[in-house]
Amino acid sequence: MKILLTGCAGFIGSHTLERLLADGHDVIGVDNFDPFYARSLKEANLAASSGPGTTGQGSFELLEADLAEATTYQKLKFMAADQPIDAIIHLAAKAGVRPSIEDPVGYQRANVIATQNLLEFSKENDIKQFVFASSSSVYGVNPNVPWTEKHDVSGPISPYASTKVSCELLGHVYSHLYGIRVLGLRFFTVYGPRQRPDLAINKFARLIEAEEPIPVFGDGSTRRDYTFIDDIVGGILACVYKSVASGAPETENGKLKTEQPEGCMPAYAVINLGNDQTVTLAEMIATIEEVVGKKAIIDRQPEQPGDVPQTWADVSKADELFGYKPTITFKEGVTEFYKWYQAQGRSF
């Protein structure tokens, strides 16, 4: 297939790229190399995921561009002229709850406007398969765990979460009006090799190894559904492959059918991708201590605005639709991350 993959130089995007190439697909990758963290780390992600010896039969073309700019789409159309795009995997976004509070307008532009533009591109070029990254943040403060896709998401508590709700709603509009299959994958706290340096497991591992204090917000009782990168990428690709195999969503008299044929993916859905288990902040720190072999120095700080007390995914819908079954335990995942980190040297 020919796949358009956005955010290809990021943490999740570069792992997805690696798997797509290994599976023999041709990939157009888009990334704007946002300076949220060092460009050199993103370049290293690309080198690891698309360099010599990492590909199967697939090819890779990189477009460095801003998805919120209209001119980007003329370039994409030119790059896809020789072979139509079979599916879009849209992973590009400004991520992070706390930074979004400081820059809500920037998050709206990078997440919502870019997604709108990409859906327009999908409509105009008759691309019927659109899979994008949503987030567990859409659930807000919901004490009814585990969270299912039927739970209300009308109460986001950060600008980042609100942009992801907006993208889900946009996806529904384009699916309904234009017969595009739009599938939003709600990721739950993804971690593993190549993880962004600002995220807790990466940051804590570095600080604990260096015997420096780690900032701990609250009393350590907050819980997260940590999901290893290999499980997430496996879910993304299983979703895409099942979606493409289902063909274009069926219509009747020019209108999208609410019910698609048995065995096909729905025309629109939001789907949890998590580990279906939770780990407290205190347990996370203890696991990193065990893997690194050093005790943490705790710098206790107040809870942060926009943070939720817990996340927990019910993944039964993903299992039903495309056989998603996470397999990596938290300790196994932290161990794999630390092996990768050690292999990098002190480059963060």
Token couple for 259: 């019910």
Taking alpha carbons only, the member of 240, 260, 3 closest to residue 131 is 240
pLDDT tops 70 at residue 347: no
d(C-alpha 224, C-alpha 189), whole Å: 7
**pLDDT tens string 26-54:** 999 999 999 988 999 999 999 999 877 66
Mean pLDDT, residues 86-97 taken together: 96
- Interior/surface letters 306-327, b for 16+ CB within 10 angstroms, e for the rest: bebebbbbbbebbeebbebebe
Q: What's at 11, amino acid-wise?
A: F
| Distance of alpha carbon 268 from alpha carbon 246, whole angstroms | 13
Angle, helices 11-22 vs 39-50, to 10°: value is: 20
Residue 159: closest CA among 92, 198, 106: 106
Res. 252 pLDDT band, cuts 50 70 90: confident
Among the four given CATH numbers 3.30.70.20, 1.20.120.160, 3.50.30.50, 3.40.50.720, the one describing domain 2-188+228-274+313-326: 3.40.50.720
Tens of pLDDT along 11-20? 999 999 999 9
Which residues does the annotation mark as catalytic? 160
Q: What percent of the chain is modeled with pLDDT above 70? A: 98
Query: In whole angstroms, what is the distance from residue 294 CA to residue 177 CA?
Result: 56
Mean pLDDT, the chain, whole residue set: 95
Residue with tokens 């995997």: 89
- Distant-in-sequence, close-in-space partners of 296: CB < 8 Å, separation ≥ 6: 204, 207, 208, 214, 285, 288, 289
In three-state secondary structure terms, 132 is: strand
Q: What is the DSSP string of 177-244?
A: HH--EEEEEEE--EESTT--TTSHHHHHHHHHHTT-EEEEESSS--EE--EEHHHHHHHHHHHHHHHH
- One-character DSSP codes across 55-117: -SS--EEEEE--TTSTHHHHHHHHHTTTS---EEEE------HHHHHH-HHHHIIIIIIHHHH
User: How many whole angstroms separate alpha carbon 321 and alpha carbon 316?
Assistant: 9
pLDDT bracket for residue 157 (50, 70, 90): very high
State the pLDDT confidence band at 305, using cuts at 50, 70 and 90.
confident
* CB-based burial label for 157 (10 Å; 0-12, 13-18, 19+): middle
The domains of the chain are located at 2-188+228-274+313-326
CB 309 within 8 A of CB 222: yes
pLDDT at 317 over 90: yes
* Cβ count near 206 (within 10 Å): 16
pLDDT of the residue at 20: 97
Percent of the chain with pLDDT over 90: 89
Q: Are 198 and 206 in contact (CB under 8 A)?
A: no
pTM for this one?
0.96
